[in-house]
Amino acid sequence: MTETEHRESRADSRRQQVRADSRRQGADMTRVAIFDLDGTLVDSPQAIMRTFAAAFEAMGVGPRDPAEIRATIGLPLDQAFADLLGVRRDDPRVAEGMARYQEAFRTVLLPRAAELVFPGVPEGLAELRRQGITLAVATSKFHAGADALLRAAGLGDFFTVLVGADDVAHPKPHPESALTVLVRCAAGPERAVAVGDTSHDLLMARAAGIRSVAVTYGVHTRSALAAADPSYIADSFEEVVAHLVKELPPDGRLRTTSSAVVDRLLADRSRHIEFNGHLTDHIKHAVVALAGLGVDPRRIEEYHDAYVSMTSYGFRVEPARPARRTIDDDNWLELLGRRTDFAAYCDFFDRRERELGLPEVLRRYMPHLLSGWVGALTHATIHLGWGLDAGSRRMTVEGLAYLAFGHVSCHPERTFPAVHGEKSPLDSWMRIVAFWEDNREELSDWVEKLVGDTSPEAMAGINPEILRSGIQYRIARMHAVGHPLIHEIPSWATDQDPTTSWNEVTRLVTLLYLAEPGDFLLVHLITSLHAMRHIADALPADRRHEVVGCHWTGLIGVLFSRGRFPRQRKVAALAALFDTALDDLDDPRWTREWDWLIARAVEEDEEHNPKLVYVMHEMWCLSGGLSLYRVAAGQFTTRPALPATFEEPPTDEEA
């Protein structure tokens, strides 16, 4: 598949997922207002023109006609520079111009952001939130720049979702930005309205099948806006708000209540992240899954409260612990993986997020944290990635803190390029498992001897509490020692589009799960994969291949730690069986089956099952209906028996 075909396929998958979610959730869907940024919320066009002028001057390029610059506002930055310079988008001068622009953006536009907010915008956004309407931004700015501008303008906290030009394959006027917002909000097009000041915004909305409001106080003239056929034209932000409240009525309080209930549950700070030593408080993950599956908010809250009062392990969750120290940039790495002072880590990342914004926090700290994604049985990764999925600031902060608290390195610094040239994760796994099966007895004995060693030398650098876990100790010990097969990075992980890699790795892990249905550890690999995708998408584009490679290293290490692999022949047969098996997304039989799976999952005490159904449903939609994911969604797991080590008291210096 060519890159163009891949991008078109990805956009089409977005449409299919929105359509499927819309059918499933019906009238009880989130109401979403999707705003453009420049010229709609912030009066930045004049500042943008000065920023372009500063960039051209720094490049030694003659000034451009202000009207030409103004005509590019609303386009992706690389396209704008290409148009203004009269070159292709891959011309080196475009990259230079963008770099100069971004430097001027930081020095010219950001310092004035607060005074550039249009009249009535903060008050209007607050009113829309009070009305239960979910707010999103879809912009042609890159994500980091848009986030910085929103925060500098004092508007960042109003928005649940931000989609920048680098978050999609096709920016405006293509519909993918709007469709991405709808997917992240689990909303249907009939329950959304887009608001913008250019024809690019309005054409995006029309192509996505959603209504639009054109504002006349921005870049394009009333006549140009009218030519794009908006649903409504407004002359002020107050008029926009009044129209949105009318167009997005709370005609079923179920979903507006759901938004409030979910936000409150995910923002809760009253509990410690673990209980009984090392067991993770999973309930926020389950809340994200249940909300994403469209479950009645009253049932979500009942599920939450039942878990909090008594988990499926028979232990209560534990109250939050006070911070015992102050963590800062000078000492935050000193406690990495020592499983101490989670609250202090929360305070640290909360403070840094307020100071720097989330994109910069992720860019700055994830290079250190990413290697520890297998720690806490991958639950720290799940907490962060699912917090990003839900747009929950508090859950995201907790996820960062948990990654630091429970860090167990998979040692990506030991990796080296594989020389085998496999084209897919399935090919790479087949080679690894063939080696395993050829050397099964020797390798199994080696693994068991390795993980059975609890000598002081073996325990060096490993927290004693996870020895009590059993499975967490196996994972930590395996990664501490390593194996060449774990550290090989296949060429597909570094060369192909990361989205393709994530799709193919998810297919592989789902096949492994079907080969051993209900396996508790493989469920974690599925739900942590969902998290890693969201983490990768939140990082700069040039770091996303690194996430893929780090994930592969950790994945193979976790599989090694089990001391066995799913049988190669069985996985190959399943891969062939499901290779081209597709469900028709428009067939009501599959809608009914998903409804049954969701209803079953809600009644399961084991909270990993709603998470499994949620991830499999998302992949079913994104893949255009691959039957593999529907079948795997019904293979529920059960909580494993507690090991004998649970009879020992927790090794917890803070308890």
**Partners of 137 in beta bridges:** 35, 162
Distance CA 54, CA 429 (A): 52
Distance CA 629, CA 506 (A): 10
350-357: long-range contacts (C-beta < 8 A, 24 or more apart)?
Answer: 350/397, 353/393, 353/396, 353/397, 357/144, 357/147, 357/148, 357/151, 357/156
Q: Which strand (E) or helix (H) includes residue 137? A: strand 134-138
Write the CB contacts of 392 (distance below 8 Å, at least 6 apart in sequence): 263, 266, 267, 284, 288
* Cα 136 versus chain centre, distance: 15
Measured N-to-C along each axis, helices 425-438 and 568-578 cross at an angle, to the nearest 10 degrees, of 160
38, 167, 281, 583: the catalytic one is 38
Two tokens, residue 360: 């910069």
Two tokens, residue 447: 């693994």
Task: Write the single-letter amino acid at 650.
Answer: P
Residue 78 falls in the annotated catalytic set: no
28, 36, 350, 583: the catalytic one is 36
Two tokens, residue 451: 């993980």
Are residues 247 and 193 in contact, defined by beta-carbon separation less than 8 angstroms? yes
Distance CA 579, CA 644 (A): 42
**Preceding peptide of 173 cis, ω within 30°:** yes
Residue 12 falls in the annotated catalytic set: no
Q: Are strands 274-275 and 279-280 parallel, antiparallel or unpaired?
A: antiparallel
Please compute, for residue 239, the number of CA atoms within 13 A of its CA located in the half-sphere on the CB side. 11
**Partners of 214 in beta bridges:** 196, 233
Burial of 349 (0-12, 13-18, 19+ CB in 10 A): buried
Whole-angstrom Cα Rg for the chain: 25
Active site residues: 36, 38
